[in-house]
Amino acid sequence: MSERRVSRNVPIILSIVIALMLAIAPLPGWAEPYRPDWVALTLIYWAMTLPQTYSVGSAWLVGLILDVAQGTLLGQHALALCLVIYITVKFHLQFRQFPLLQLSATVFALLALHQFILFWINGVVGVNSPAETYWGPVISSTLIWPLLTMFLAGFHQRARR
């Protein structure tokens, strides 16, 4: 049983690692403000699908890694991801029933909240953050969400076998 559990979790952890890599991959300058929030999207998907396994704890750990990778204050991404994943897990049964359009709108709201917390902490500690970079990641992430769900669903199917 535990062997099956391991083999099932490997692809999921792999997807999170890939999301982390996409989050630190270099992008051309013009695309930088529109980099989708890969880590948040992937974590939201797994928290919705497997809320018992991937919940606030894993979100917090991944957030800490992201903080170190991006050089932000330790705990900044951890807090933002933790809150977003808490809401996702809390309402995962409702979210699963949503049609795609409504779910995308929900993801939009979750990511806006995520971005708000990052900006808020930046504001509190006095790091200037240009306001025009607020919505870029939120919009690009929402647009990429349907594709990502399809991809991760395939991942999950394979893992289940």
Partner 1 sequence: MAASKSDNQFGSPFLPSLGLRFLLLAGLSILLLIIDHRDNHLDAARKAIGATVYPLRVIVDAPVSTWRWLTDTTASRNDLQLENSRLKTERLLTLARLQRYSALEAENARLRDMLEARATVREQVRVAEILSVSSDPFRHLIVLDKGTVDNVYDGQAVIDANGIVGQVIEAGVLSSQSMLISDPGHALPVEVNRNGLRTIARGTGEFDSLDLPFLPNNADIEPGDLLVSSGRGGTFPAGYPVAVVESVTRIPQEPFASVSARPSAALNQVREVMLIWLADEPDELEVDADAADDEEATDAATSETEAEIGDAIAAPVENDSGESDE
Binding part of the chain for partner 1, among 80-88, 108-116, 138-146, 148-156 by CB under 8 A, reads 80-88
Q: Which residue has the tokens 């969400």?
A: 145
Question: Which one of 18-26, 94-102, 140-148, 150-158 is the stretch in contact with partner 1 (CB under 8 A)?
Answer: 18-26
* Shortest Å, Cβ 101 to partner 1: 27
d(CA 41, CA 9): 18
55 touching partner 1, by CB under 8 A: yes
Name the residue nearer to partner 1 (CB basis): 102 or 158: 158
Output phi, psi for 99, to 5 deg: -70, 165
Residues 11, 75, 116, 151: which binds partner 1 (CB under 8 A)?
75
Task: Verify binding: residue 56, partner 1, rule CB under 8 A.
Answer: yes
Give the C-alpha distances (Å, rounded to integers) separating 37 from 8, 50, 68, 73, 108. 25, 20, 16, 18, 11
